[in-house]
Structure 1
Amino acid sequence: MKRATIYDVAKAAGVSHQTVTRYLNGFEGIRPATRERVRKALAELDYRPNSAARFLRSQQTNRIGLLAHRMDLSGPGRLIAGATSAARERGYVLDIASMDGGDAASVDEALDLVLEHQIAGVFGTAQTHVVREAIEARALSVPIALDGQESGPGSVNIGLPGHLAAAHLAELGHRRVGFLSGPAVWIASAARRDGFLAEAAAAGLDVRWMGEGDWSAESGWAAAQECPVGEQGITAIAVSNDSMAVGLIAGLHERGIDVPGHVSVVGMDDSPESRFLVPALTTVRLDFEGEGAHRMARLIARIEDRTGSDVPEYDAPRLIVRQSTRAIAD
């Protein structure tokens, strides 16, 4: 089947091919009604621009360097998926280099790898101060997007999951609570912990135990061996991600501690497996795919020196109540 051209799109939309070209180039001075007709025609004809030719004419590159840390984890993996889709839709390709976000030398090596080729920008997926400091030290001349760095329209408070978890436990009547955080080097981990502590203090909760894991289920299992659950211990635990919550519940079960009978557990992320656990995990849903698309679209708008009118927003974190938490009469 022959691919649609801009002339086909122009005919379907009832406009000139110059108008279609201006729309594709991000020109802002097109009337809303005309813009909508062009958008519909592009979608109906499944028009796909020849991005290689477009970038060749403009003497620009359509490659973006993506620095990836812990792609094995649900959150970073889903964020990269969203970023990749947004880049592809806009005619860009990604050069992905894996790295250890806690090791400056590893970040430098990843940067060296993507900078071997001409790139239009850098997208970083590791929420660590190590990554930010390593990139800032290079004084790159291309636009840069890092997780949690931007606070413009559509961005979400990364500490909100912690607030939501604490508020949920308080609403259920819990007063003696604990919190299992992720690695201290991760900015998101600290933000979720601080959000939880702030909401706990406002609600009058007694945070009797704090632990730190490495995002893995194994670290959650290890934490379960030391958290004080009992007659005077905690009655609920919030966990910084679902993987650690899974391990925590397994470890508590081995100790003969029932969830949610003896202790309630709330996770964060809403990983695909969380609703199929026994008990199904109460968690805070995060729109990682949407966030990745949002940050990539904002980066490309800066690369192309546009206002970013096509940057999609993403969903704010929200609580998903399942069977791992219950009300308590203290």
Structure 2
Amino acid sequence: MSAEEEPTKAANIFDVARLAGVSHQTVSRVINNLPNVRPATRARVEKAIAQLRYSPSPAARALVTRRTRTIGLIVPAVSDYGPTSIAIHFNIAARAARYSVDTVSAVDVDPASTRMLVEGMLRRRVDAIVLVVNDMAVLEVVHALDLNIPLVAAAATMRRDAHLVSIDQYRGARSAVRHLAELGHTRILHIAGPTRAPDTIERMRGWRDELSARRLEIVEPVHGEWTAASAYTLGLELDIRPDSAVFVANDHMAIGLLSALRERDIRVPEDVSVVGFDDVPEAGYLVPSLTTVRQDFAALGELIMQKVLISIEEPDSVTEDTPLATRLIVRQSTRAVDLPDKPVDPLLPAPARGA
């Protein structure tokens, strides 16, 4: 067989991405006519698609013929800002891709209940399932499932998996603790979330690692329930000392802590600095306004939708994604530690004028 007669491998989405000089997510956005792609980039991708004669895999084309253009979304039955924001922004991204979303709330987080919800979604003939994880037990269920449709999980975890997407809770926590340490705080306490929540585990890991790297004291964290009320109760008993600061695992708990400290006549930030996590809309309007770690839930919603589309179109081409970065937002609830004036040794000569 001559070189001309030798069969060539069909192009895939990554070949298109390499030729166009873009990410495979961008190629997916162009294929599915999603917004937020520059015209020049879209034209470059379309040219690469034509040049490579790219089309989705035969398996994906067969799946297309059975599509309902509906995605099942399973979210925890909570009013927490994080899961609620993920659900909202995923719905926005799905609508932009001309998909509808069938949402169910998971009241229980045990494996049996999670499997039952997934099976219910399968009976509704959804094209894919998205699962917002707030308990490690649910994450274990995800890895044990063997489905004939894509399942994408939003979960912060050390584990890397092609079907997991997340915001980098670990580095976000380290940035919060680093900020407090650079302000001169040497005793940085932590009010953590529920013990089995993936976000709790990653934020606590970041807090602990940053303290260890700086050889600062580690006081075992106390755990709240993501609510202002739970942190208010903890804050009434929190051991606040000079040079203390508190890293709180979410903004709602930080609000409860601020109330407890005010009741105890402990001033923020004069007596203690406080940092939250999430950057809820109210954070900038508290007194004092709250220093916090911002999560980009809009970007996460889009990333989840991109992962779903690629899983449908190119099921053998799904790869791991780098967790999305967070951003530290510095406001008035943190300040540098006031160091005492250095005593002057009377035996030393006075410094020269102008020195």
Residue number among 81, 86, 89 corresponding to 1:82 in the alignment = 89
1:154 to 1:185, Cα distance in 2 relative to 1, 3 A: closer
Amino acid at match of 1:204: R
The 8 Å contact of residues 294 and 313 in structure 1, kept in 2 or not, is answered as no
1:238 aligns to 2:247 (yes or no): yes
1:34 to 1:137, Cα distance in 2 relative to 1, 3 A: closer
Amino acid at match of 1:286: Q
Q: Structure 2-normalised TM-score?
A: 0.72
Give deviations 1:281-323, integer Å, cap 9, x for gaps. 0001111121122112111211122768xxx999620110001
Residue number among 307, 328, 331 corresponding to 1:298 in the alignment = 307
Match of 2:191, SS state, is strand
Equivalent position of 1:14 in the other structure: none
1:226 to 1:296, Cα distance in 2 relative to 1, 3 A: same
Match of 1:268, SS state, is coil
Equivalent position of 2:102 in the other structure: 95
Amino acid at match of 1:102: V
Equivalent position of 1:227 in the other structure: 238
Match of 2:43, SS state, is helix
Give deviations 1:96-126, integer Å, cap 9, x for gaps. 1100363334323322332221121110112
1:262 aligns to 2:271 (yes or no): yes
Give deviations 1:246-283, integer Å, cap 9, x for gaps. 00110111111111111110000001110010110000
Equivalent position of 1:4 in the other structure: none
1:225 to 1:35, Cα distance in 2 relative to 1, 3 A: closer
- Matched residues, number: 286
CA RMSD of aligned residues (A): 3.1
CA distance in structure 1 between the aligned counterparts of 2:203 and 2:324, rounded to whole angstroms: 17
Give deviations 1:60-86, integer Å, cap 9, x for gaps. 231111110145111111111111111
For structure 1, the 5+ residue unaligned runs are 1-22, 27-31, 40-53
Give deviations 1:3-56, integer Å, cap 9, x for gaps. xxxxxxxxxxxxxxxxxxxx6568xxxxx96943999xxxxxxxxxxxxxx999
Q: CA deviation at 1:176?
A: 1.1
The 8 Å contact of residues 168 and 324 in structure 2, kept in 1 or not, is answered as no
Equivalent position of 1:108 in the other structure: 115
* Structure whose CA Rg is larger: 2
Amino acid at match of 1:272: P
Q: Structure 1-normalised TM-score?
A: 0.77
Amino acid at match of 2:218: V
- How many percent of aligned residue pairs carry the same amino acid? 35
1:128 aligns to 2:135 (yes or no): yes
The 8 Å contact of residues 278 and 295 in structure 2, kept in 1 or not, is answered as yes
Match of 1:123, SS state, is strand
Q: CA deviation at 1:137?
A: 3.9
Deviates more, 1:211-220 or 1:200-209: 200-209
CA distance in structure 1 between the aligned counterparts of 2:239 and 2:264, rounded to whole angstroms: 11
